[in-house]
Amino acid sequence: MTTPSTTMAQALNSALRDALTEDERVVVFGEDVGRLGGVFRITDGLTAEFGEDRCFDTPLAEAGIVGFAVGMAMGGFRPVVELQFDAFAYPAFEQIASHVAKMRNRTRGRVALPMVIRIPYAGGIGGVEHHCDSSEAYYAHTPGLKVVTPATADDAYSLLREAIEDPDPVIFLEPKKLYWSKSQVALPVRTEPFGRAAIRRQGADATLVAYGPTVPVALEAAEAAVEEGWDLEVVDLRTIVPFDDETVAASVRRTGRCVIVSEAAGFAGVGAEIAARVQERCFHSLHAPVLRVTGYDIPYPPPMLEQHHLPNVDRILDSLDRLQRDDRPDPRFLPLGGAA
C-alpha cells in the first residue's frame, strides 16, 4: 500500500482537527478562520465539523486576538490562534512580548500560557509588501517563546500537535511557500520532539543549516553541489527555540564547514545566532569561517524582484567557494566595487 501524498496545508489542517477531537480545551480562532477556512484554508472545514464554539472568526484586531487568547489560556483553554500574515502580527507584538512571553516568569511559574500563535511567514509566493516578512528573529529574541517552523508535511503535523500540547506558548511559523508542497505522509504521524534538529541529507564536506522555507533550497543546492565535488550535509532546525546545539555542532565537527541559509535579512538574524553558537562549540574543528546565505538587509522587495533577494542554489554554491582553505581576502569584502 502506498502512503497518500499530503500537502503541508493538509497536514496542518489534520493536526488542528485531531487536536480539536482529542482535547476539548482546544479552541481555534482568528481572522477568516471560520466559514472561509482561513485565507490559506488551513482551518478549512473545522467550524462545520466542530461548531462555532471551537473554531471561530474574531473581529479584525491582532492585539485583541492574542490578548484574548492569553485570557482564555489563563481560564483553562488551549487557544490556537491564526495571525493572517507575518507582517500583520505586528499589532500583536505588544501582547506577545509583554505578556505571552513573560507570564510564566512574572508569576513565578504560577500562570502558564499553553497557547499557539500560528503565523504564515516568509516569501517566495509573489506577495505584495507586508505579506512576505521573515520575522522569526523578533520572536526568537524574546525569552519565554518557543519558535517552531516546519519544512515538511509530517513535521507540520507533528510539531503543531506538540505545540498545542506544550505547556509554554509557541510561535508556530508556517512557511507559506511550502503550504502546497506534497510529500508521502500517513497521518497521524509523530516525528522527533521539539529541540531536535533533523539531518535531511548526510554529507561529509560541509553542513548547510536551514529552517522552514530554506530547507528545500538547501537540499536542492546539496544535490547540485555533487557535480562540483561537494558532499553536503543538510540540517533542518525544525525548532529555532529550543535550539538543538548538539545536532548542529556534531554535524559541523564532522564536516568542518558550515553555511547557514535563511530568508530573513542577515543582520542580527537567527543565522547570526547559529554562527556564533557553531564557532563557540566547533572552533577547533572548523576549516573555514561560518558563512551565512541570507536575504539582504532591505525591506522585503516587490514581488517582481524577490528572486534577486531570496537565497537560492547559486548563492549557496557560491558560498562553497569561500569555504576552501584559502587566505585570500573575500572579494565581496574588498573596498567598494571589489567584487565588480
Partner 1 sequence: MTDRQHDGGPEALLPSERPVRFLTDTGAAVRGRPRYPLPSPETLRRAYRAMVVGRRFDAQATALTKQGRLAVYPSSHGQEACQVGAVLALQDGDWFFPTYRESMALVTRGIEPTEVLALLRGDAHCGYDPHRHHVAPQCTPLATQTVHAAGLAYAEQRKGSGRIALACVGDGATSEGDFHEALNFAAVFKAPVVFLVQNNQYAISVPLDRQTAAPSLAHKGIGYGIRSERIDGNDPVAVLAVLSAAAEHARSGHGPFLVEAHTYRLESHTNADDATRYRTDAEAEEWRRRDPIARLEAYLRRRGHLSDEDVAEAATAAEEFAARLRTAMNAAPELTPLGMFDHVYDVPTPQLDEQRASLRSELEAEEALT
Residue closer to partner 1 by CB (options 50, 157) is 50
Q: Which is nearer to ligand TPP, 31 or 44 (CB)?
A: 31
Rounded distance between C-alpha atoms, residue 304 and residue 128, angstroms: 9
* Contact call for residue 31 and ligand TPP (CB under 6 A): yes
Residues 52 to 111 in contact with ligand TPP, rule: CB under 6 A: 60, 62, 84, 88, 91
Cβ pair 49, 21 in contact under 8 A: no
What minimum distance in Å lies between the beta carbon of 78 and partner 1? 23
Question: DSSP characters for 122-178?
Answer: ---S---TTSS---HHHHHTSTT-EEE---SHHHHHHHHHHHHH-SS-EEEEEEGGG
Contact 185, 4 (CB under 8 A): yes
Whether residue 242 is preceded by a cis peptide bond, meaning omega within 30 degrees of 0, is yes
Q: How far is the CB of 135 from partner 1 (least distance, A)?
A: 13
The residue annotated as part of the active site, out of 99, 130, 131, 308, is 131
The stretch near partner 1 (CB under 8 A) out of 32-40, 101-109, 140-148, 250-258 is: 32-40
Sheet holding 146-148, edge to edge: 55-57, 26-30, 78-82, 116-121, 170-175, 146-148, 239-241
Q: Which residues contact 285 (CB under 8 A, 6 or more apart)?
A: 252, 253, 256
Residue with Cβ nearer ligand TPP (129 or 223): 129
Q: Is 260 helix (H, G, I), strand (E, B) or coil?
A: strand
Contacts of 84 (CB under 8 A, 6+ apart): 30, 31, 32, 39, 120
CB of 309 to partner 1, least distance (A): 7
Q: Which is nearer to partner 1, 124 or 256 (CB)?
A: 124
Decide whether 51 or 126 has the Cβ nearer to partner 1: 126
CB of 175 to partner 1, least distance (A): 18
Tell me: does residue 48 bind ligand TPP (CB under 6 A): no
CA 322 to chain centre: 27
Contact call for residues 83 and 61 (beta carbons, < 8 A)? no
Ranked by CB distance to ligand TPP, the top (closest) residue is: 88
Asked if 136 and 173 touch (Cβ cutoff 8 Å), the reply is yes
**224 sits near partner 1 (criterion: CB under 8 A):** no
All 3 cell numbers of residue 240?
Answer: 529555532
Stretch that binds partner 1, among 21-29, 198-206, 246-254, 293-301 (CB under 8 A): 293-301
- Supply the minimum distance, in Å, between the C-beta of residue 322 and partner 1: 11
Task: Specify whether the CB–CB gap between 207 and 255 falls below 8 A.
Answer: yes
User: By rule CB under 8 A, what count of residues binds partner 1?
Assistant: 47
Number of residues forming the site for ligand TPP (CB under 6 A)? 6
Let me know if 308 is a catalytic residue.
no
Instruction: Point out the residues that are catalytic.
Output: 131
Binding positions for ligand TPP, rule: CB under 6 A: 31, 60, 62, 84, 88, 91
Where do contacts with partner 1 occur on this chain (CB under 8 A)?
31-32, 34-37, 39, 57, 59-64, 87-88, 90-91, 126-131, 267, 296-299, 301-305, 308-309, 314-315, 318, 331-333, 336-340
